[in-house]
Structure 1
Amino acid sequence: MTTITSTASAGAAGGAGTAAPAAADRSPLRRGLLRWLFVAPALAYMALFFGYPLIRNILMSFQHYTPKTYFTGEAPFNGLDNWRNVFANELFSDSLWHTALFTVGSLLGQFTIGLALAVFFSRRFRLSGFVRAILLLPWLVPMVVSAVVWRRILDQDHGMLNSALHAVGLVSQDGVPWLNSPSVALLSAVLVNIWIGIPFNMVILYGGLQEIPRELYEAASLDGSSAWRTFRSITLPMLRPVVTVVLVLGFMSTVKILDLILALTSGGPADSTQTLGTVTYQLSFLQLDFGQGAVVGNVLILISAVFAVLYLRANRADFGKGK
């Protein structure tokens, strides 16, 4: 009797041991399937609202796509004709240069002033919260509204800026042609965009400063470190991940900017403020050549993607060396 019971117990144990590996083999597969099920809605959303428009835009750049296409559905492929026509257009090469100047100038101004304000407000004082809230207003106002207001301020004949400068004797009665001179208009657009982007940089960098341990500054103070050395050796290295986010997002939003330029100068005078964004708009919705407009749009996407990849890889390499 004891022998039979022992045999049965051994058989049951053997069966359980056989079933356990099978369950163990199924569990990783089941976990992987569950992970994909959770990610599937996000992937479907990305494919539908980002992947499809991107692929469609690439295909359109190789087609003769006109308003007639929307009625007939005919958009014959024309090879590289759209790309040749765009690259041969002098306006495209000028817009590349204007876009580079506008983007670099805006990022430098926004980041420098935003970082200075973030450092300033990291030292608590009375009404600091109220002043920070006031400085957020340019970021909260729609960009078109800000551009229209600045267009009135920068008006050569009746603008507040020229009136104020003339009152203190800095300019003549004629004033500065902020938006009417090809040599000044782009600079004016850069200054307005800096004013709009400062709050975003300040808020993100201020949040990053609050995450830096105070003990590091106390140790630097005990070591007799100067303010500039402390900023260079502690603040900037600790802010590096936040700086990456600020610069990448700032670049993405600045390089493709359209509404600000249209509301300020409409690309003029003499095409001096034409950027890749305004050229895309002009080709697609004014000249109704959607194929060439898609080419410029693809150039914008490529520039943004290359910048993001190179900057993130460089930052990751620096972070790895630091570790």
Structure 2
Amino acid sequence: MRSGPRPAPDRARLRERITQWLFLLPALAYLLLFLGYPLIENVLMSFRHYTATTFYTGAAPFVGLRNYAEVLSSDMFREALLTTVLFTAGSLVGQFVLGLAIALFFQRRFPLGVLRSLLLLPWLLPLVVSGTTWRWMLDTDSGIVNRMLRGLHLVSSGIPWLTGTSQALVSVILVNIWVGVPFNTALLYGGLQDIPEHLYEAAKLDGAGPLASFRHVTWPLLRPVAGVVLVLGAVYTLKVLDIVLVVTGGGPADATQTLATRSYALSFQQLDFGRGAALGNVLVLVSLVFALVHLRASRRARYA
């Protein structure tokens, strides 16, 4: 027997599938053009001796893993790695603690929605603008921070926020905390809103105070969201470049050189694109580990 015409539902499903792919094509084209292609080129460049003269001669000899070996065995890598760990850890702790505190404050039916919106301003501002503003505020001689401290008689002379080797790292951490707190607050506040109110009422009837309610109700239910926030914060902080370059330029004496800024310096200041690409790929791999953790945490939060 000859088969009859295809049923209408099958044709409708086919049209729906084609429509879905047509909507996805622009996003896929964007990802391939602006993310996929540069990433592949960066990987290929890391295996070659690629310098400024390569743009004129076209010669980029294949060196295998030599760029990676030189980068990973250098003192600058170990110093930049330690700075990156300190910068990331300090930023994550500060952003999360302040973000959670503000989210808990807003959870108490805070009436001013405008203030909640204004809180996002540091996150929405271009990082160059934020960095430039903080560089002016932290200036040793004319910065408003030192002027306030001297006015309150807390210090007798200006603190070298940007020129002291120990103070500079603290300064960029504080600036990055200021930038990242709104993001943490927004996600944590959303997680708090999903906690049923009757659980707090039941805890109150059982005699639980604010701290006990947070420990036994808020934190257990907020933990999956908190995990996502911390992992995302780690990924974003690892690739921070603008803030460090604008505020301190990686100085003084390389005190604020992270893996991201060191990769930038190798590529665009020393014009050693091969080693810069190798260090950049190392940073990509580290970020990929956190991204995989983020996907797992997101899945856990979704089904929690």
TM-score range, shorter chain: 0.7 to 0.9
The SS at the match of 2:61 is coil
2:38 alignment partner AA: P
Please say if 1:136 is aligned against 2:124.
no
Equivalent residue for 1:91? 76
Equivalent residue for 1:148? 132
Q: Give the TM-score normalised by structure 1.
A: 0.83
Distance in 2 (alpha carbons) for counterparts of 1:122 and 1:235: 11
- Deviation of 1:49 after TM superposition, in Å, equals 2.8
Equivalent residue for 2:194? 211
Equivalent residue for 1:157? 141
CA contact (8 A) 2:228 2:297 kept: no
Q: Aligned ranges for residues 23-172 of structure 1 at < 5 Å?
A: 34=18, 37=21, 39=24, 42-126=27-111, 128-172=112-156
- Deviation of 1:124 after TM superposition, in Å, equals 2.2
Q: Give the TM-score normalised by structure 2.
A: 0.88
Distance in 2 (alpha carbons) for counterparts of 1:41 and 1:318: 30
Distance in 2 (alpha carbons) for counterparts of 1:115 and 1:247: 12
- Deviation of 1:52 after TM superposition, in Å, equals 2.2
CA contact (8 A) 1:244 1:312 kept: no
Unaligned runs of 5+ in 2: none
Equivalent residue for 2:225? 242
Structure 1 residues 199 and 90: alpha-carbon distance in aligned structure 2, compared to 1, 3 A threshold: same
The SS at the match of 2:166 is coil
- Please identify, of 159-168 and 40-49, the stretch whose mean Cα deviation from structure 2 is larger: 40-49
Deviations 1:226-281 (A, max 9, x none): 22222222222332343233223222221111111111111111100001111111
Distance in 2 (alpha carbons) for counterparts of 1:199 and 1:23: 53
1:310 alignment partner AA: V
CA contact (8 A) 2:228 2:294 kept: no
CA contact (8 A) 2:225 2:301 kept: no
Equivalent residue for 1:10? none
1:148 alignment partner AA: T
Q: Which has the larger radius of gyration?
A: 1
The SS at the match of 2:208 is coil
Unaligned runs of 5+ in 1: 1-14
Please say if 1:193 is aligned against 2:176.
yes
Provide the identity percentage: 54
Match of 1:261 among 234, 244, 248: 244
1:153 alignment partner AA: M
CA contact (8 A) 2:103 2:188 kept: yes
- Deviation of 1:44 after TM superposition, in Å, equals 4.3
Structure 1 residues 180 and 82: alpha-carbon distance in aligned structure 2, compared to 1, 3 A threshold: same
- Deviation of 1:110 after TM superposition, in Å, equals 0.6
Structure 1 residues 213 and 160: alpha-carbon distance in aligned structure 2, compared to 1, 3 A threshold: same
1:265 alignment partner AA: T
CA contact (8 A) 2:123 2:180 kept: yes
Distance in 2 (alpha carbons) for counterparts of 1:148 and 1:255: 20
Distance in 2 (alpha carbons) for counterparts of 1:110 and 1:208: 16
CA contact (8 A) 1:82 1:292 kept: yes
